[in-house]
Structure 1
Amino acid sequence: MDTNSPKSKEQFVHSVFESIAPKYDIMNDVLSFRRHKAWRKFTMKKMNIQPSNTAIDLCCGTCDWTISIAEASQTGNIVGLDFSQNMLDVGKVKVDRANLDRQIELIQGNAMDLPFEDNRFDYATIGFGLRNVPDLKRTLAEMQRVVKPGGMVVCLELSKPTWQPFKGIYYFYFQKILPMLGKILVKRYEQYKWLPESLAAFPGRYELADIYREIGLKDVQAYPLTGGIAALHIGIKER
């Protein structure tokens, strides 16, 4: 399917995540070499969330990170937003199981057009979702808009390794092996064939840091994770 236009990409990505929602957590392990939990733990340490802090977690998927943020905040209002209702349905089961349904609000919505006023949250996060949005700069600008002055915009995302031979091995895995695993494990080949294509068009670690600065975020930090196959980007909204 042609995903060159923003609308086509949006529709295709929506269909991908609606269809893989029940097996998304399993494939996250496969996609990240089972490292995504360690990456999230590192990210949470860098965020240093305090009791009563508020946050919006974009492209929250099945809500693992949303729940971690809520647990760290203890009492602060946490919003999980995703455009896939099927993903949110899986996430809601987890939220209810963790007894966090009063603290976490789940909303079906568009990351490029957040239904919140300016300066609302202490944190805006997006985990493994920025490469899927049609306009990543607009999404980051929206994240910046809804955080308070001094608030933090956080992106944890797959990235592009820069050193060989690891780079070659990783791309072979991502482009050749991963789609076949998707076909075997969740009976979805085309959807997981699309994932490496989404990464190919995504900016590298330094380019994304430059975009952070371009939209006006300050004190931008970019951390490579596991040889650069993922990266954490943090920026602060100007006070």
Structure 2
Amino acid sequence: MNTSDKTKAHTEEQYDHVQSVFESIASKYDIMNDILSFRRHKAWRKFTMKQMAMKPGDTAVDLCCGTCDWTLSMAEASGTGQVIGLDFSPNMLKVGENKVRAKHKEDQITLVQGNAMELPFEDNRFDYATIGFGLRNVPDLEKVLQEMRRVVKPGGMVVCLELSKPTWQPFKGIYYFYFQKILPSLGKLFAKRYDQYKWLPDSLALFPGREELAAIFRNVGLEHVKAYPLTGGIAALHIGIKENRHV
């Protein structure tokens, strides 16, 4: 097996493993998000929506949409614009579909099972491309960002809300102790899943820090990149703009 084949096999193995993780925790995903983030994820998303400043009629694609909380927030902010939620986990999408129906947003929101590294959408289609708490789970995050940049219109916005790495002590030490030692035990207690929640801190260990991710945004061709630390740096919001050829 040559290097290219080995890389492809590793990518496929990682994709399958992550998919199996989220398939198994889908029914408990929302309550675990509340518990593990102390409900801060709701405040982070609210801050993100403020920075995005969506206008009526704006369109969006929400990658790794999971159970569709952010997808619904964008649909409500847009009012009439079409919003597509994409995820690779059928079980997560089933939970999201129930939420979409409960909010009577079936005509505005379309849910698609797919791969964030190979988006099934044409170039320059959306005003926004977003990914929330999903970028650290993909085998090739740079490829995902390239795809997000491809499918937004010139002047469109690429948005990533994700866990990050605190840089100052003693908060950094407390955070890593919680994430590596306490979080998996909470997963076992509330979701009956230890191994899956043990994998989540492992995924963060390999994920770039706030400034590193901002540099990757620039490397894929995004402009006016902004990076906001949230709650002491345990999460971060990154925003980049696709160049506007008309300016």
Q: TM-score band (shorter)? A: over 0.9
Which residue matches 2:239? 234
Give 3-state SS (helix, strand or coil) of 1:227's partner.
helix
Counterpart AA for 1:31: L
Q: Are 1:81 and 2:123 matched, yes or no? A: no
Whether 2:158 is the aligned partner of 1:169: answer: no
1:154-194, Cα deviation, whole Å (9 max, x unpaired): 00000000010000000000000000000010110000000
SS at match of 1:87: helix
Q: 2:54 aligns with which of 49, 54, 70?
A: 49
1:5 is paired with a residue of what secondary structure?
Answer: helix
Which of these residues, 131, 134, 139, is aligned with residue 134 of structure 1? 139
For structure 1, the 5+ residue unaligned runs are none
Residue 239 of structure 2 aligns to a residue whose secondary structure is: strand
Q: Equivalents in 1 of 2:165, 2:38: separation in Å? A: 15
Rounded Cα–Cα distance in structure 2 between residues aligned with 1:203 and 1:115: 27
TM value normalised by structure 2: 0.95
Q: Encode CA deviations 1:62-88: one digit per residue, 9 max, x unaligned.
A: 000000000000000000000000000
Matched AA of 1:28: N
Q: How does 1:188-227 map to 2 (within 5 A)?
A: 188-227=193-232
Query: 1:48 offset after TM fit, Å?
Result: 0.1
Counterpart secondary structure, 2:80: coil
TM-score (norm 1): 0.98
Cα distance, 1:5 vs. partner? 2.1
Q: Give how far 1:29 is off.
A: 1.2
Post-superposition shift, 1:45? 0.1
Q: Given residue 77 of structure 2, which amino acid in structure 1 is its aligned partner?
A: A
What whole-Å deviation, never above 9, does each CA across 1:46-103 have from its counterpart, x for those lacking one? 0000000000000000000000000000000000000000000000000000010100
1:30: Cα distance to partner?
A: 2.2
Unaligned runs of 5+ in 2: 1-8
- One-letter identity of the residue aligned with 2:104: N
Distance 1:117 1:81 in 2: 15
Q: Distance in 2 between matches of 1:143 and 1:153?
A: 6
Equivalent residue, structure 2, for 1:106: 111
Alignment partner of 1:153: what SS? strand
CA distance in 1, matches of 2:79, 2:54: 10
What secondary structure is seen at the aligned counterpart in 1 of 2:17?
Answer: helix
RMSD over aligned Cα atoms = 0.8
The yes-or-no answer on 1:26 pairing with 2:35 is no
- Aligned partner of 2:6 in structure 1 is none
Hey, what's the Cα distance between the residues in 1 that align with 2:163 and 2:180?
A: 14
> What corresponds to 1:66 in structure 2?
71
Residues in 2 aligned to 1:140 and 1:170: alpha-carbon distance in whole angstroms: 27
Q: Tell me which amino acid in the other structure corresponds to 2:110.
A: E
The alignment status of 1:115 with 2:115, answered yes or no, reads no
User: Percent of aligned positions with the same letter in both sequences?
Assistant: 75
Structure 2 SS opposite 1:170: helix
Task: Count how many residue pairs are aligned between Structure 1 and Structure 2.
Answer: 236
1:169-188 to 2 correspondence within 5 Å?
A: 169-188=174-193
Give structure 1 regions of 4+ aligned residues with deviation exceeding 3 angstroms. none
Amino acid in structure 1 at the alignment position of 2:204 = L
